[in-house]
Structure 1
Amino acid sequence: MTETLGSTGEFGLIAAVTKGFPQGEDVLVGPGDDAAVVAVPDGRMVITTDLLVEGRHFRRDWSSAYDVGRKAAAQNLADVVAMGARPTALVVGFGAPTDLPTAWAVELSQGLADEADLLGVSIVGGDTVQSDKVVVSVTAFGSLDGRRPVLRSGARPGDEVAVAGRLGWAEAGFAVLTRGFRSPRSVVDAHRRPQPPYAEGPRAAIAGASAMCDVSDGLIADLRHIAEASQVVIDVRSQALAVPEPLEAVAAATGLDALTFVLTGGEDHALVGTFEPADVPDGWTVVGSVAEGNQDLPAGTVTVDGAAYAAPAGHAHFAS
């Protein structure tokens, strides 16, 4: 008989998932007490939280529990590095029906642990609760290691806009899956399990990035966050954006536009930043520029090739 969360129980589940969580040198007290204790050598801590809700952010017939765990950790770790910080610890909240197989929850925890291990990050605690559907909440912590945080509000006229990481792959995968297909495998895997360029966040901060954001809602949508916070205008040059062959293949098969995947697709968790031209790090691709607002293009505007982008700019969480 399949063991479920109902038969395993809360504390049995906690014991099953936490035994595989190694603890790093920043952790002074790990799982097992009322709260964890994590060292903050810098005196400041970067903190971020994201939720994944079954049916909204993932489907169990599309993604394995391991994939969901990797994705849940990745989207939080990407937010930390987008501040120019070094991730140090994760706390996980988990809600699920009592008939969920215990093995599914254990596999989820392994995905979380493996993604965190890429950066030497510790999972230091969390909570479990019964719910009608699977919900995963991850809170990530990070250290600035003496650096200033890289905010969205620092972009300046004359800066260049540059990107590190993949754009549009996860969105192409979503387009494939919603049509009942499972190929190209590369884009489907990108939807299931993002690959953020973790090392590039701290590198960009050290290089002098004036503003930075992870691309979770879409390039244009997230650049708009920077433009609004910085009170500038940002123009994206479409010819500078790479449109890989798998995205072209999906666009041809679905009747969609491959460039739209790149401009508006989220969940790849690439990094986009603004830099003085001489400060753009090696490996980043310059895709646009920053200018002052004017009567025709007020501050907070993002354009593509000098013109307003008419289509939806990316994901909006409470849009109908």
Structure 2
Amino acid sequence: MTVSRLSESELLGRIFPRLNRGPDTNAAVLLGPGDDAAIVAAPDGRTVISIDTQVQDQDFRLEWNNGYRTSGYDVGWKAAAQNLSDINAMGARATSLVVSLTMTPATPVAWVEDFADGLTAGLQGLGAGDCAVAGGDLGRGRELAVSVAILGTLDGGDPVLRSGALPGDTVALAGTVGRAAAGLALLESSVPVQSLGPAQRALMDTQCRPHPPLAAGPLARHAGATSMMDISDGLVRDGGRLAEASGQVLNLDPQALKALAVPLLPAAELLGAEPLAWVLGGGEDHGLLATFPAALRLPHGFTAIGSVEAPSPTDSTGVTIAGRPADTVGWDHFAD
């Protein structure tokens, strides 16, 4: 059955029971789905808000070159992951979200139900089970598109911005980098998905269902992180944004980068690729990049990968590797 066979109310009737246990399970949602707008509480007095979009054939394909078929569950999980990661990068905790889903008339109802299941599973599986779906919108279009706006709270603390890195700070990473990029290369390759081994399949799964380290954001804030951001467009590109915002240089350790490339070897050897390029330029793992005072012991889950240095009078801010400029571009939604 396709969505064209159901009314909007009938389709919502299939979606709502799959999303969450109802507004009573989350004190932040005072009024959930059913009215023209949701009502959410802001006990901290401040609201952290972000929005992200996935569009068919731009951010995912229904069928990849290697034969893998993207499920609604994949898209729902990723919608949860990428938005939760943005809240995490501020040192905040997600409390509620609203979802806009645009579908073609031929979209199977089962795909939409699967999407709702994946969204809920992502919230719960990533450790944000108290983040409720407060409402959303369904629309008709020429392609599938999902937008999620997410709200969070700082629980009385201060946000960690991109602009606070200081010379002498340690540059640290929580989560992974490069794995989603390796997974994307496998999806786009001609190697049949059925022939992939467990390690290669795990890399592909990171692209389809990323696991941002949600506990790391608030932990880093409490530990005294001076700056922080989500890595969605690549270590060098996003690191460059943090460096520019802080007016500093992030100098990365080549040995630490090589260690990050080791888990990518199963895909690199199969495809004849350079794994370090994925480490530096690959996004969508949604790892967490942060800086900490050098004397501070890094919080659990963070690994040192470099240091913050003041730019010389003749150099600009940015990312270097062992003191040399890193020229990896990373992901750009409009240039790529």
Q: Settle same-fold status: TM greater than 0.5.
A: yes
Q: C-alpha distance in 1, partners of 2:81/2:232?
A: 11
- d(CA) in 1 for partners of 2:138 and 2:223? 41
- CA-to-aligned-CA distance 1:165-200 (integer Å, 9 cap, x gap): 011110000111111332311111111100000000
Residue 245 of structure 1 and its aligned partner are, at CA, apart by 4.4
CA distance in 2, matches of 1:42, 1:32: 26
Deviation at 1:296, TM superposition (A): 3.6
2:166 alignment partner, SS class: coil
Query: What SS does structure 2 have at the residue aligned with 1:277?
Result: coil
One of 285, 296, 302 as aligned partner of 2:303:
285
Residue 322 of structure 2 is matched in structure 1 by 305
Matched, 1:266 2:276: no
1:138 Cα deviation from its structure 2 partner: 0.6
- Aligned amino acid, residue 28 of structure 1: L
Q: 1:83 — aligned with what?
A: 90
Alpha-carbon distance between aligned partners in 2 of 1:245 and 1:314, rounded to the nearest angstrom: 20
The match for 2:182 is 172
Residue 294 of structure 1: SS of its match in structure 2? Answer: coil
Aligned length in residues? 316
Where structure 1 has 5 or more consecutive residues not aligned to the other structure, the ranges are none
> Does structure 1 residue 237 correspond to structure 2 residue 247?
no
CA–CA separation in structure 1 for the residues paired with 2:178 and 2:52: 21
The superposition leaves residues 236-280 of structure 1 with CA deviations (integer Å, 9 ceiling, x where unpaired) of 112113235441121122221111111111000000101102332
Q: Return the TM-score normalized by structure 1.
A: 0.96
Bigger drift between 86-95 and 277-286 goes to 277-286
Equivalence for 1:47: 49
Structure 1: distance between partners of 2:262 and 2:218: 30
Superposition map of 1:1-320 within 5 A: 3-20=1-18, 21-22=20-21, 23=23, 24-61=26-63, 62=68, 63-117=70-124, 118-119=127-128, 120-181=130-191, 182=193, 183=196, 184-241=200-257, 242-243=259-260, 245-279=262-296, 280-298=298-316, 300-310=317-327, 312-320=328-336
1:102-132, CA deviations, whole angstroms, 9 ceiling, x for partnerless residues? 1101110111111122312100101011010
Tell me if the contact between 2:179 and 2:203 (Cα under 8 Å) persists in the aligned partners: yes
Moved over 3 A (4+): 243-246
Q: Is the 8 A contact 2:175 2:301 kept in 1?
A: no
How far apart, CA to CA, are the structure 2 residues paired with 1:69 and 1:180? 26
Moved more, 86-95 or 234-243: 234-243
- Worse-superposed segment, 253-262 or 129-138: 253-262
Deviation at 1:295, TM superposition (A): 2.9
Deviation at 1:135, TM superposition (A): 0.1
Query: Does structure 2 conserve the Cα–Cα contact (< 8 Å) formed by 1:233 and 1:297?
Result: no
Partner deviation per Cα, 1:209-256 (whole Å, 9 max, x = no partner)? 111001100011111111111111111112113235441121122221
Query: Partner letter of residue 79 of structure 1?
Result: D
Which amino acid in structure 1 is aligned with residue 13 of structure 2?
Answer: A
Amino acid at match of 1:92: V
In structure 1, C-alpha distance between the alignment counterparts of 2:318 and 2:211, rounded to whole Å: 29
- Structure 2 gap ranges (5+): none
Between the aligned partners of 1:238 and 1:92, the Cα distance in structure 2 is: 41
Q: Distance in 2 between matches of 1:235 and 1:272?
A: 13
Deviation string for 1:52-100 (max 9, x for gaps)? Answer: 0001111112421101100011000000010000100110000010111
Contact 2:229/2:242, CA 8 A, preserved across alignment: yes
Separation in structure 1 between the aligned mates of residue 85 and residue 260 of structure 2, nearest angstrom: 22
| Sequence identity percentage | 44
1-side partners of 2:133 and 2:190: how far apart?
35
Give SS of 1:19's match: helix
User: Is 2:181–2:278's contact at 8 Å kept on the other side of the alignment?
Assistant: yes
For normalisation by structure 2, the TM-score amounts to: 0.91
